[in-house]
Amino acid sequence: MNGKSIAILSEAERHRLVQSPLDGEGLKLLFEAGLIWLTTNQQYVNSLNVFPVPDGDTGTNMVLTMQAAFAEAESKTTKNVGEMAHTFAQGALMGARGNSGVILSQIWRGFSRALDHYDTMDSALFVRALQEARNTAYKGVVRPVEGTILTVIKDITAAVETGTVSETKLSDLLVTIVKAGDESVKHTPELLPILKQAGVVDSGGTGLFYIFEGMLRLLQGQPLDVSTAVVKPLSELELANTLETVEEGQDYEVVIDFAPHSQFSLESYYTGLSEIGTSIQVGEGDGIYRMHIHVPLDKRYEPIAYTEGLGIVKKIAMENLQDQMNSKKEESAKIKFAPVEPGQVAVVAVSPGEGLTRIFASLGAAAVVSGGQTMNPSVKEIVAAFENLPTDKIIILPNNKNIILAAQNAAKVSVKQIAVIPTRNAPQGFAAMLRLLPEGTLAENEESMKEAITEVHTGEITTATRDVTIDDVHVEKNSVIALLDGKLIISTHSIDDALFQLLSAAKVEEFERITLFYGEDMTLPRVNQMVDKIREKYPQHEVEVHDGGQPYYQLIVAIE
């Protein structure tokens, strides 16, 4: 993706794009513009999270899905608009991440289907493509929910399918699309009460709006890859760092604290940084600015030199991101997974932590896909985990509500027999694994596992990312919160208090076993102190503790 080249299109090239009809190369430029503008606004989309938990990954999922799509189309030189659209849609399908990414891939799938057998696209065909995109997206979801990205694609389509558009310029059509998308996004809280409670608009719908707005900005000659230059508090900047995925070319993370000179221009600073790296964030507190950026190896010192010319550098932190990723891969390689014989049922599980992965392996998983909160795996990654296993009977455990759709789409693109068990967390995944019968039929295993996941209740304890009130639970930023089976139930100021309120709310006295999986920011001695208190209060219960290694969530609690 080359944001600079697309941002400086000549007036003649821009004029050619505006005129109908549009060929394959023109459509590729529109797709690229949508991707760049979405990437520019990625962290804002991430922040539109209903629950105040550190998993606001919709923006990241949509960006990665669009990047996968554009990677397929980038090297294609065809002027045939149908062929270009098909290539883009195929890339989106395999690169789809999370619910938002999967639905977005379905939008492009329908869009491309309408362009089959066409060399060019005029405004009327664009409208027909939107209609097919809307229809395909709705059909791809078992229970469509209004107030989401589905509503936005529906409202956008409705705004342009009335009247005669055959003579309408593409730029004028996009003006109507962007206006309708903006209004639709603003209306989402009226359709989905949980959005209204949380005080946010739908994140997926907002991401789709930015894609179409990026297309329009390209045609209007407006910048695409320059941030809107909104300065965040330093605490929010630190949170944003944890939400990002390490992408190709992001070898080092550089963080600089500096006091800017009096003539400092934030917008110009962003512009300069965009020439150096990606994932740019700037925060401010007490007159000190903090800049965060991901850069390639050969540019790791450039942000420092650039910032020194604009202010007094106070502190510098630099981390090798690729080395961290490689270390994790080496550790994962040491785990022994269950051997699979032809004809047996093999299980592929998604796991967010090293410790959880080891447990899945010990229970008989044939393969694990790394992923979970904020790092949803793509359809392609899920397929890669099972395509070379020597059996055609596969069970997928997504272990996260935002990965279920991707798992189902992975099943659709494979010729193997695949069952997706709708596990929403690791404890449900473990319960399913305990029912595994490798020599049994796929149907027998599926039925047994689906029954098993109803018998375990799951609690999650993490730190709130913002102030909000949901379901009469008032949450303050940085407080400790607890969720029970995905529902926010507690906000307090200590992990211990959250844990015992969680156990009480779950009516743990009616169950037999409590299992704690502690995260990467917790220590075993600290957890053992809590375990002693649990055993003291619930002496009849069996209590276990395991190193889960999951990020963001201090504790995952299984109650059985």
Residue 552 belongs to some domain of the structure: yes
pLDDT tier for residue 247 given thresholds of 50, 70 and 90? low
Assign residue 371 a region (left: φ > 0; alpha: ψ between -120 and 50; beta: otherwise). left
Give the DSSP letter of residue 372: B
Average pLDDT score over residue span 376-380: 92
CATH number, domain containing residue 478: 3.30.1180
- State which of 287, 321, 355 marks the end of a domain: 321
Average pLDDT score over residue span 261-272: 85
Residue 36 belongs to some domain of the structure: yes
- pLDDT, residue 291, reads 87
Residue 43 belongs to some domain of the structure: yes
- The number of distinct structural domains making up the chain is 4
In degrees rounded to 5, what are phi and psi of residue 149?
-60, -30
Beta strand 278-285 with 232-233 is: parallel
pLDDT tier for residue 4 given thresholds of 50, 70 and 90? very low
Looking at the fold, whether 342 and 435 belong to one and the same domain comes out as: yes
Provide the residue range defining the domain that includes 192: 3-220
Average pLDDT score over residue span 301-318: 92
Looking at the fold, whether 131 and 62 belong to one and the same domain comes out as: yes
Task: Kindly report the average pLDDT of the chain as a whole number.
Answer: 88
Q: 413 exposed, middle or buried (CB, 10 Å; 0-12, 13-18, 19+)?
A: middle
Q: Which residues contact residue 282 at a Cβ distance below 8 angstroms, ignoring those fewer than 6 apart?
A: 229, 231, 232, 237, 266, 269, 270, 289, 290, 291, 292
Assign residue 552 a region (left: φ > 0; alpha: ψ between -120 and 50; beta: otherwise). left
pLDDT tier for residue 249 given thresholds of 50, 70 and 90? low
* Whole-number Å distance between alpha carbons of 489 and 550: 21
- pLDDT, residue 268, reads 84
pLDDT beyond 90 at 198: no
- pLDDT, residue 228, reads 53
Residue 327 belongs to some domain of the structure: no
CB-CB neighbours of 111 under 10 Å: 26
Q: Give the lowest-confidence range in 164-168, 440-444, 473-477.
A: 164-168
Handedness of CA 92, 94, 95, 101 (dihedral sign): positive
Looking at the fold, whether 167 and 243 belong to one and the same domain comes out as: no
Task: Write out the two tokens for 181.
Answer: 């998308």
- pLDDT, residue 497, reads 96
Average pLDDT score over residue span 40-44: 85
pLDDT beyond 50 at 97: yes
Average pLDDT score over residue span 493-506: 96
Tell me how long the chain is.
560
Looking at the fold, whether 169 and 255 belong to one and the same domain comes out as: no
CATH number, domain containing residue 303: 3.30.70.100
Beta strand 457-463 with 553-559 is: antiparallel
Looking at the fold, whether 529 and 392 belong to one and the same domain comes out as: no
CATH number, domain containing residue 387: 3.40.50.510
pLDDT tier for residue 248 given thresholds of 50, 70 and 90? low
Among the listed residues 352, 427, 438, 432, the one whose alpha carbon sits nearest the alpha carbon of residue 390: 438
- pLDDT, residue 15, reads 66
Q: Give the lowest-confidence range in 49-63, 78-92, 261-275.
A: 49-63
CATH number, domain containing residue 137: 1.25.40.340
pLDDT beyond 80 at 237: no
Average pLDDT score over residue span 210-232: 78
pTM of the model: 0.80
Task: Write out the two tokens for 516.
Answer: 């704690």
pLDDT tier for residue 553 given thresholds of 50, 70 and 90? very high
* Whole-number Å distance between alpha carbons of 73 and 55: 30
- pLDDT, residue 107, reads 96
Q: Give the lowest-confidence range in 72-81, 123-132, 166-175, 524-533.
A: 166-175
Average pLDDT score over residue span 112-138: 94
Looking at the fold, whether 393 and 420 belong to one and the same domain comes out as: yes
* Whole-number Å distance between alpha carbons of 181 and 186: 9
Residue 330 belongs to some domain of the structure: no
Give the DSSP letter of residue 309: T
Looking at the fold, whether 164 and 270 belong to one and the same domain comes out as: no
Q: Which of 47-51, 332-336, 479-483 has the highest mean pLDDT?
A: 479-483
Residue 329 belongs to some domain of the structure: no
Looking at the fold, whether 77 and 142 belong to one and the same domain comes out as: yes
Average pLDDT score over residue span 279-283: 77
pLDDT beyond 50 at 433: yes
pLDDT beyond 70 at 245: no
The β-bridge partners of 253 are: 294, 319
- The answer to whether the beta carbons of residues 65 and 149 sit under 8 Å apart is no
Average pLDDT score over residue span 322-342: 73
Task: Write out the two tokens for 151.
Answer: 């509503």
Residue 450 belongs to some domain of the structure: no
Looking at the fold, whether 437 and 534 belong to one and the same domain comes out as: no
In Å, how far from its chain's centre is CA 228?
A: 22
Q: Which residues contact residue 266 at a Cβ distance below 8 angstroms, ignoring those fewer than 6 apart?
A: 229, 231, 282
Residue 134 belongs to some domain of the structure: yes
Task: Give the DSSP letter string of 213-253.
Answer: HHHHHHHHT--SSS---PPEEHHHHHHHHHT----TT--EE
CB-CB neighbours of 435 under 10 Å: 18
Q: How confident is the model over 106-120, as pLDDT tens digits?
A: 999 999 999 998 999
- State which of 396, 413, 443 marks the end of a domain: 443
Looking at the fold, whether 146 and 254 belong to one and the same domain comes out as: no
Looking at the fold, whether 17 and 61 belong to one and the same domain comes out as: yes
Looking at the fold, whether 83 and 125 belong to one and the same domain comes out as: yes
- State which of 443, 472, 496 marks the end of a domain: 443
In the block, tokens 């910032």 appear at 307
* Whole-number Å distance between alpha carbons of 302 and 316: 12
